[in-house]
Amino acid sequence: MPGAVLYELPACILILDPSGELQLATRRAEDLLGLTFDEIARAFRYPGSSQLGLALASTIMSSGGTEPQRFELERADGALTVIEGTATEVERSTGLPAVLIALEDVSARARRQRAERDFVTNAAHELQTPLAAITSAVQVLQAGAKNDVVDRDRFLHHAEDACDRLERLARALLVLARAQSGDERPRQEIIPVAALLSSVADGVARGRNVEVECPADVAVLANRPLLEQALANLCQNAVKHSHGAIVLAGVRAEGFVQIEVRDSGGGIDEADRERIFQRFYRGLDPEEGFGVGLAIVKEAVEAIDGELELETSRLGTNFAIRLPGARIVSE
């Protein structure tokens, strides 16, 4: 009877006897590990034979007041679970000490911590570009350009553009941070797509041919700072990886609006396609890597409940964002 009661405890508990044999695994512990009692016991008997056995052996060795041991466990269904284990020594004897191991599923906490770290890193790298532009403009002005009216106005305009970009980026990152932490859902509004695309096109490096193709009455329901930042990053990526025309388009599609950023570059290698949205993935050519820009695009689109699609070939690349559509009606 006592064993049956302990088995139903609402906690993930494992108990070993002084010889190191598993005596109890609660139902919650079996569910968390995705294993039966016999399978868990086998992991203790032969620690080196399994991922779980090595992790639990490490947890046992940490008993005596050290920090909880965290490990990742791939379950039979392929799901990755992050588990923290704390071992408490019950009594000492020859061989392995008798211990009580408490396990906790910290997957959600680990994901949140990873998202917070990623956000800080992404923000720092994205802020570098406009800050560098402002610094360069100030240095040139101080070096003598301020004495020439034409040069002065040109570099002041560069600094103003960089400040505007910095303001938009800071606003978008704040919204993204709140969305990722779960503190606040991004505020949605009806956004005229043609005007938004024209604004993004104006921010592209001077001298590039950027075309906007979108009917004047097309609109989407989304968060403007996040959508604008995602499109700006896609456009900057197109500028970096192609030399021909860039097209920003808004197309209606069955209740949705698809916003596309198309370029005529050489496309993205098949080996890179699955990983280009990872932070700092450099691709096959480390000098032409994808940095963090596309990672922020993916995060921003997910935060506004959009869908991000990629089509690429040797004739060019098309990034498409699908969002709920709206229509602007003139009075």
* Two tokens, residue 203: 């921010």
Residue 201 has pLDDT above 60, yes or no: yes
Provide CATH code, domain 187-331. Answer: 3.30.565.10
* Two tokens, residue 104: 């906790």
pLDDT in tens, 227-241: 988 898 898 888 887
Rg (CA), the chain: 27
d(CA 129, CA 117): 20
Q: What is the largest CA-CA distance in the chain?
A: 92
- Name the fold adopted by 108-185: Helix Hairpins (1.10.287)
d(CA 164, CA 264): 28
Mean pLDDT of the chain: 78
Looking at residue 294, what is its pLDDT?
A: 78
3-state secondary structure of 210: strand
pLDDT in tens, 61-86: 665 555 677 877 776 666 778 888 88
Mean pLDDT of 250-277: 82
Q: Which residues contact 210 (CB under 8 A, 6 or more apart)?
A: 201, 204, 235, 245, 246, 247, 248
Q: Are 294 and 246 in contact (CB under 8 A)?
A: no
Kindly report, as residue ranges, where domains of CATH 3.30.450.20 are found in the chain: 2-105
DSSP 211-237: EEE--TTEEEEE-HHHHHHHHHHHHHH
Looking at residue 326, what is its pLDDT?
A: 74
What does the DSSP 8-state code read for residue 76? T
Q: Are 208 and 180 in contact (CB under 8 A)?
A: no
Residue 262 has pLDDT above 70, yes or no: yes
Q: Are 288 and 295 in contact (CB under 8 A)?
A: no
Kindly report, as residue ranges, where domains of CATH 1.10.287.130 are found in the chain: 108-185
Helix (H) or strand (E) holding 257: strand 256-263
pTM: 0.56
Mean pLDDT of 321-328: 83
Given the candidates 3.30.1360.120, 3.30.450.20, 3.40.50.960, 3.90.1300.10, the CATH classification of the domain at 2-105 is 3.30.450.20
> How would you label 141-151 residue by residue, b for 16+ Cβ within 10 Å and e otherwise?
beeebeeeeee
What does the DSSP 8-state code read for residue 35? -
Calculated CA dihedral for residues 56, 57, 60, 61, nearest 10 degrees: -140
In degrees and rounded to multiples of 5, residue 307 shows phi and psi of -120, 135
Give the whole-number percent of the chain exceeding pLDDT 70. Answer: 76
Kindly report, as residue ranges, where domains of CATH 3.30.565.10 are found in the chain: 187-331
3-state secondary structure of 3: helix
* Ranges 106-110, 187-191, 230-234: which has the least confidence: 106-110
d(CA 186, CA 229): 14
pLDDT in tens, 5-32: 777 888 888 888 877 788 888 888 888 8
Q: Which residues contact 106 (CB under 8 A, 6 or more apart)?
A: 70, 82, 83, 84
Among 237, 198, 220, CA closest to 317: 237
Q: Are 192 and 200 in contact (CB under 8 A)?
A: no
